Structure 1
């Protein structure tokens, strides 16, 4: 068993691709013992290439650290018996099959609950278990159908997807929160329960101010490129040699920005002296800011504005982002058996995340897990 706040918690991971595996990796980092159940062909992401490392898709490597793998064909009676034994032993059961898809194998919530009333059973789907039960839950579909893509891109251009499967990741995070809450409830009451998350509900929640603009304000937000609906400046702006992200989140910050740019009178201009006015007059303010910013390079302005306590930053590549974290002492990369992975972002002073196992090969621990289940049954 691993050390950590979840040490001793056994997770049966019947999920694949991203939302579920990301959730179970986070639980594993915190000490849970995660058994990754794969079909004989393996998790799809093993073959999502390029890029690869030692022939394995880096997509798979990103979300499967600290797990043990067993390959089971649920259509085979002997393998199904192993799956049932694992479900009876698990503290947490996580799956992202289509709603109802595991019932024919006796691995749905009701069936697992009959074997173990204390199990926390987490179902992850694309559109919930009611009217959207039959809809396939791909992140790209949810980005489009939730409204995110309508907000992403230039105002006069086509809609764009985000650069990652953002709602898969967010749903994984929400699943972890639900599982942890259910485990706490079980500690108090002894009761297991069913945790349900879905990508569309996650999307509407994590669109935060944009969905609030509609449901609370009656406004349907539209694409604004890199601009912000309610703040200006809050976007990349051209300097003497490239763009720099410049932020003034309140009136005090805007005053400091105006002073740092050598244009202190802008903060007293009645067109720009409050957040709302700056939004109303952003097309008048933008050229004045660009004129001032043209006097220095992006790096020079980064140093000047940072020294003035103002939020600003360059637009890095992914490589640049990792290197920045390294320079800041965040130690973003951890190697597990010579496989580089990204550090768990949670810091805990007494029980920090641990990195014990590299992402497993398919069925790498199959024999070990079968022996463990037999021992548990005999005990």
Structure 2
């Protein structure tokens, strides 16, 4: 069997996605990778993420990354005919996911609760900025705004000027949480025969990431500081510069590792009985002394010498790499994907499965499947029964 026709766990599933930007498209792209048919509903001018850059053979890196394998149709949902077409798609859908502005789908008459009343087997997923509670629920929300609101920025980076986390972490995490919720809802539907509603917010996703700093602050009375390439509660854990200018990041997780590090890497067994190095908590209190001691040893050795010692001591370490270093990294897995007649190399899925394809399907142009979808989901003629799909199950229950 060819790689492009391997059976997949979501084969036969229809996902209708009223989506834009990052969070929902991330989720639906992974559903598409797993075999689902994903129909992407775009506004007539297209998903605005198409215009973020032109880095990948003239296309947006964001859009290439999270829209592969989908079908695109451009609809103006303020027009009754286009809204009716979407409604006919939803009659057949297994999953409906949307991340429009708060209240937008309700105003259109396609809010999740109403849809599940009309289509009891439908799984719905609403992704928002702040959820449907609290005083901020109607605010617009984008990734960097949520990084700030949730406190992520306050514990990230080095002391001094605030800095953005370098990827759209809140969007991505919300997309991951939506994926988890949808898959669990499909399992639940297999047991009960009924769909359910999933709600995911960027803020909740970021707040859950903040679990440890939150608990440390609320119950320990002290928030972690911004310490750059160090760990707020472990020492030594950070980057140190070797004699050839290369930075090596080391991590000590327990006292056994600390003892091996002192003997094999620092060649300072005397530190094991030094009162200012006695335990991790004490080392954190004396971080300048501890880090200074490590830095002095590293500064006198080449990176090759340091790595040899770290390997002998079985100390965890890593290089401080650039994006260019990632591109040539020996551990990087990529997949080929056609973009505008060219081939792009994109990072592979982080989970390896027996149904993974050797290459990724193309992303759609705006309204690329619009004409075909309008024919497929055309209004029923006089001889058809318009209530047919509302009185029978969407399809046989499909394992996920």
Normalised-by-shorter TM-score class:
over 0.9
1:194 is aligned to 2:197: yes
**Superposition RMSD in Å:** 2.1
The CA distance in 1 between the partners of 2:6 and 2:203, in whole Å, is 34
Q: Give the superposition deviation at 1:376.
A: 9.7
Tell me what 1:6 maps to.
10
SS at match of 2:130: coil
Give the C-alpha shift of residue 354 in structure 1.
Answer: 6.8
Unaligned runs of 5+ in 2: 389-400
Task: Work out whether residues 322 and 332 of structure 1, in 8 Å CA contact, stay in contact via their aligned partners in 2.
Answer: no
**Given the alignment, which residue of 209, 212, 215 partners 1:209?**
212
- May I ask how many residue pairs the two structures share in their alignment? 373
Question: Kindly tell me: are residues 372 and 301 of structure 1, through their superposed partners in 2, closer, same or farther at Cα, counting changes over 3 Å?
Answer: farther
- TM-score calculated relative to the size of structure 1: 0.92
TM superposition score normalised by structure 2: 0.88
Q: Matched residues in 2 for 1:92 and 1:226: separation? A: 42
How far is 1:360 from its partner?
Answer: 0.8
Distance 2:11 2:352 in 1: 16
Q: Give the CA deviation at 1:305.
A: 1.2
Aligned to 1:65: 68
The worse-fitting range, judged by mean Cα deviation, of 40-49 and 215-224 is 215-224
Larger deviation, residues 302-311 vs 198-207: 302-311
Say whether residues 1:244 and 2:248 are aligned partners. yes
Corresponding residue number in structure 1 for 2:307: 302
TM-superposed deviation, 1:77: 1.7
1:371/1:206 CA distance change after superposition, 3 Å: same
**Alpha-carbon separation, structure 2, partners of 1:146 and 1:356:** 34
Q: Which runs of 5+ in 1 are unaligned?
A: none
Of 362, 365, 368, 1:361 maps to 365
Q: Secondary structure at the match of 2:361?
A: coil
Partner of 2:50: 46
2:235 is the alignment partner of 1:232: yes
How far apart are 1:24 and its partner, in Å?
0.7
Q: Determine if the alignment matches structure 1 residue 92 to structure 2 residue 98.
A: no
SS in 2 for 1:53: coil
Q: Which runs of 4+ in 1 moved over 3 A?
A: 351-356, 374-379
1:213 is displaced (CA, Å) by 0.9
Indicate whether 1:141 and 2:151 are aligned: no
| Change beyond 3 A, Cα 1:2–1:124 | farther
Alpha-carbon distance in structure 2 between the residues aligned to 1:292 and 1:195: 53
Distance 1:369 1:264, change over 3 A: farther
Structure 1 residue 355: Cα displacement: 4.7
Task: Give the CA deviation at 1:27.
Answer: 1.1
Larger deviation: 87-96 or 208-217?
Answer: 208-217
